[in-house]
Amino acid sequence: MTIRHPRRIWLAVILLVLAALCVLSVVVGTRHVGMADILAALSGGTQTMGQAAVATRIPRTILAVMAGAALGLAGAIMQGVTRNPLADPGILGVNMGASLAVVIGIAWFDMSSLAAYVWIAILGAGVAAVSVYAIGSLGRGGATPLKLALAGAATSVALSSMVIAVVLPRNDIAGGVRAWQIGGVGGATFDAIAQVAPLLALGLLLAIPTARRLNMLALGEDLARGLGESPAVARGLAAVSAILLCGATTAICGPIGFVGLVVPHVCRLLFGVDHRWLLPLSALTGACLLLAADTLGRILISPTELPVGIVTALIGAPFFIWIVRRQRISAL
Amino acid sequence: MTDQSIPTRLRSARLQRSNGYRTAVACLAGLLALAVMITLCVGQSVTPPGDVLRVLAGVDVPGASFTVGQLRLPRAVLAVLAGLCFGLGGAAFQVMLRNPLASPDIIGINAGASAAAVFAIVALSLGGPSVALMAVVAGLGVAALIFGLSFRNGISGGRLILVGIGVSSMLDSAIAFLLAQAPAWDLQQAMRWLTGSLNGATLDQALWPALALATCGSLLIGQRRGLEMLRLGDDTAAALGTDVARTRLIVILTAVGIIAVATAITGPIAFVAFLSGPIAARIVGPRGSVLIPAALVGALLVLAGDFAGQFLLPGRYPVGVMTGAIGAPYLIFLIIRANKTGAT
């Protein structure tokens, strides 16, 4: 009972930080806008340049919160399912799988609407996730961190050279694909958000019942089975939820790496390993991280912008190295 | 079988083995010469070999002097030099770390050199020798960083590779950032610095890789016996009289040097460093040092990849995309095989 109290405080702190970041994200940008204009824009005004600028920051903020929450949650679920500290949608090649699927959709099937991207991105993410896990878990010891990370890195590289091969001969679509790939949340509109929101909600709904099951899986497969849990069902449910979350996010924001890696580790350090707390707190922390990275990207090299994916990689890669150094990895 | 015949038989077996090695190397060199000749003759139009030879001899042949002398020759020369650099440096790393995955392009040394080259060109508007110098310094810096970060009670190959993957993903996003800052950033330029390309090759550019090969490359090849010893493990090598630390230092410095210089000119041509060593080992077998065959295989790969990317496919692809398309499935295959046998 004693541990619950700090968790509730942490929850309140994170919600406050998130609210503060939302305000910052609306207020801060390349163009300095006065308080009066910001308030006018929030109530729907777009008369002045300042109000129009703020009006574009509102959907952007909402999308950053949604995408960050989805990636943080997906990362926590993946790390729980694979019981692997290096699991992350980016490292496992899931983002690149979604990318390749979208690029093929644009280049060969003339897809141009987000509604079409979303489904094909989820398909690509699913295929990539399953094949990386299959390659990584071959042989002795199952999916060890090293094997899984190597399989994911190799698959990512393979997929990214396929993306280039598909895009290069098509000058007509190269610009669009590149804009999507650099991605980020800059071009967000309420229409786009409305199209992915149901899928993200479905992913979230599926994630809720997995929390308890992930706790059981963490005890080991035999013990989980003994407690009346079917590991296959638990894994399947969790995997579908994670793939929905990162596929839909990648479709709208492009590949964003490392959020799903960093967030669950930080949350585990702060709040312990109970997935019933870990999953929601990872989602909230993920939203904070992506929002902060996006706002930072707007300030760092003003007047231009740094795409949020680059900011998260610059923050996340050192973190990845830190985890690798902590791991005990036997010599090859 | 008498006692006397054993030394004789050993000697003849050794002779046979070194003859086999020499034959394999000579075949590879012959194949490379043939490939160069073909790329000089064939392009959008076909130039007869006689004309090509006359252009090479300095005779002015109308038409052919431009297509062969100005377009195809610089491209072929640069392809061969870059391939030699990548193949040699990559194989040296793989042998030294006793792991085919520990090639410079996977652990981020190419990406470091590339990032430095982009920084020098885009942010500092430098050119020529200063770009090559910065690439070398950055390559060495990244190598030091990776070795330093993965050092924990000795260096474990697995940790080194994972740290390298992390470092290279950070460098890749740094490259993407720098390119996004460039005033005129186009897809071709981006391709060069992310996957490698020979577009717009000139003969002047060939000077730096050639110099690097002449100095660092020959030093590296001079270490081949020590490297073969390292293959047996550090302790065994030391017991057999190899100065392990010294050999390793020379190999790292020279291999990073040639790779960084080549990267500064052509970009990090994907997977050539990674592929050349294993292919060469398959060809020559355990008969001798893999370094020289690997360099030749690297040159063949770049030359063939560039030719295929230009003429054999409907679109025109830079060489890095072609070598990436060959290399990535091989990387996955290697991981599957390693996992199955439980080597990882």
Predicted local confidence at residue B29, as pLDDT = 95
User: Would you say residue A69 lies in a domain?
Assistant: yes
Predicted local confidence at residue A328, as pLDDT = 58
User: Over 50: is that where the pLDDT of A85 sits?
Assistant: yes
Predicted local confidence at residue A300, as pLDDT = 81
Predicted local confidence at residue A182, as pLDDT = 65
Mean pLDDT, residues A287-316 = 85
User: Would you say residue A49 lies in a domain?
Assistant: no
Residues 290-319 (B) with a CB less than 8 A from some CB of A: 314-318
Predicted local confidence at residue A202, as pLDDT = 92
Interface test with A, best of B191, B333, B337, B344 (most A CBs within 10 A): B344
CATH of the domain at B124: 1.10.3470.10
Terminal alpha carbon distance of chain A: 45
Domain that holds residue B241: 84-341
- Band the pLDDT of B200: cuts 50, 70, 90: confident
- Residue B244: CB atoms within 10 A of its CB come to 16
User: Which residues have CB under 8 Å from A67's CB, separation 6+?
Assistant: A185, A249, A252, A253, A256, A290
User: Over 70: is that where the pLDDT of B182 sits?
Assistant: no
- Alpha carbon of A152 to those of A1, A75, A134, B210: distances in Å? 40, 14, 10, 36
Mean pLDDT, residues A59-74 = 92
Containing B15, the helix (H) or strand (E) segment is helix B5-41
CB-based burial, B278-304: b 16+ in 10 Å, e otherwise:
bbbbebbeebbbbbbbbbbbbbbbbbb
Predicted local confidence at residue B314, as pLDDT = 75
Residues 109-168 (B) with a CB less than 8 A from some CB of A: 149-150, 152, 156-159, 161-163, 165-167
Mean pLDDT, residues B103-115 = 87
**DSSP per residue, A149-168:** HHHHHHHHHHHHHHHHHHHT
Average pLDDT, chain B: 84
Contact between A22 and A61 (Cβ < 8 Å): yes
Number of structural domains chain A divides into: 1
- Band the pLDDT of B183: cuts 50, 70, 90: low
Mean pLDDT, residues B56-63 = 82
User: Would you say residue A331 lies in a domain?
Assistant: no
Tell me the range of A269-278, B125-134, B141-150 where mean pLDDT is highest.
B141-150
- Mark yes or no for CB contact A135/B339 under 8 Å: yes
User: Would you say residue A214 lies in a domain?
Assistant: yes
Interface test with A, best of B101, B159, B326 (most A CBs within 10 A): B159
Lowest-pLDDT choice from A2-16, A185-199, B80-94, B207-221? A2-16
Instruction: Spell out which residues of chain A touch residue B162, defining contact as CB-CB under 8 Å.
Output: 86, 146, 149-150, 324, 329
Give the chain B residue nearest A146 (alpha carbons).
Answer: B158
CB pairs under 8 A between A and B: 143
Nearest to A138 among B170, B321, B340 (CB): B340
User: Would you say residue B183 lies in a domain?
Assistant: yes
Residue B339 contacts A where some CB pair is shorter than 8 Å: yes
User: Would you say residue B201 lies in a domain?
Assistant: yes
User: Would you say residue B230 lies in a domain?
Assistant: yes
- Band the pLDDT of B207: cuts 50, 70, 90: confident
Q: What is the pTM of this model?
A: 0.81
Number of structural domains chain B divides into: 1
Lowest-pLDDT choice from A29-38, A130-139, B307-316? A29-38
- Report the distance separating Cα B42 and Cα B38, nearest Å: 6
- Band the pLDDT of A2: cuts 50, 70, 90: very low
Nearest to A155 among B270, B332, B338 (CB): B332
User: Would you say residue A303 lies in a domain?
Assistant: yes
User: Over 50: is that where the pLDDT of B1 sits?
Assistant: no
User: Would you say residue A13 lies in a domain?
Assistant: no
Question: Which pair of structure tokens corresponds to residue B295?
Answer: 């360099």
Instruction: Spell out which residues of chain A touch residue B172, defining contact as CB-CB under 8 Å.
Output: 313
Predicted local confidence at residue B189, as pLDDT = 65
Lowest-pLDDT choice from A132-136, A222-226, A300-304, A310-314? A300-304
Interface test with A, best of B162, B172, B231, B331 (most A CBs within 10 A): B162
CB-based burial, B109-126: b 16+ in 10 Å, e otherwise:
bbbbbbbbbbbbbbeeeb
User: Would you say residue B77 lies in a domain?
Assistant: no
Average pLDDT, chain A: 82
- Report the distance separating Cα B265 and Cα B136, nearest Å: 12
More confident residue, B33 or B101: B33
- Mark yes or no for CB contact B331/A154 under 8 Å: yes
More confident residue, A172 or A95: A95
Residue B283 contacts A where some CB pair is shorter than 8 Å: no
Closest CA to B324 of B341, B301, B343, B293: B301
Distance, in angstroms, between B304 CA and closest chain A CA? 17
- Band the pLDDT of A141: cuts 50, 70, 90: low
User: Would you say residue B66 lies in a domain?
Assistant: no
B42: β partners: B46
ipTM rounded to 2 decimals:
0.74
- Mark yes or no for CB contact A162/B325 under 8 Å: yes
- Alpha carbon of B110 to those of A276, B39, B87: distances in Å? 43, 26, 13
- Alpha carbon of B95 to those of B197, B244, B269, B290, B338: distances in Å? 27, 13, 20, 9, 17
Distance, in angstroms, between A18 CA and closest chain B CA? 26
User: Would you say residue A2 lies in a domain?
Assistant: no
Lowest-pLDDT choice from A63-77, A196-210, A264-278? A264-278
Interface test with A, best of B339, B340, B341 (most A CBs within 10 A): B339
Mean pLDDT, residues A10-34 = 85
User: Over 80: is that where the pLDDT of A45 sits?
Assistant: no
User: Would you say residue A18 lies in a domain?
Assistant: no
CATH of the domain at A245: 1.10.3470.10
Domain that holds residue A306: 58-326
Predicted local confidence at residue B299, as pLDDT = 95
User: Would you say residue B17 lies in a domain?
Assistant: no
- Report the distance separating Cα A160 and Cα A154, nearest Å: 10
Give the chain A residue nearest B328 (alpha carbons).
Answer: A158
**DSSP per residue, A203-250:** HHHHHHHHHHHHHHHHT-HHHHHHTT--HHHHHHHHHHHHHHHHHHHH
Instruction: Spell out which residues of chain B touch residue A142, defining contact as CB-CB under 8 Å.
Output: none
- Mark yes or no for CB contact A327/B149 under 8 Å: no
Closest CA to B131 of A332, A123, B123, A187: B123
Instruction: List, for residues B272-290, the tens digit of each pLDDT value.
Output: 998 899 899 888 877 778 8
- Band the pLDDT of A183: cuts 50, 70, 90: low
CB-based burial, A188-198: b 16+ in 10 Å, e otherwise:
beeebbebbbe
Predicted local confidence at residue B154, as pLDDT = 67
Instruction: Spell out which residues of chain B touch residue A320, defining contact as CB-CB under 8 Å.
Output: 166, 169
Closest CA to B150 of B140, B159, B141: B159
Closest CA to A154 of B304, B127, B332: B332
Region for residue A11 given its phi and psi (left: phi exceeds 0; alpha: psi -120 to 50; beta: otherwise) = alpha
- Alpha carbon of B86 to those of A163, A328, B82, B206: distances in Å? 24, 32, 6, 14
User: Which residues have CB under 8 Å from A213's CB, separation 6+?
Assistant: A224, A229, A233, A234, A237, A238
Mean pLDDT, residues A236-265 = 87
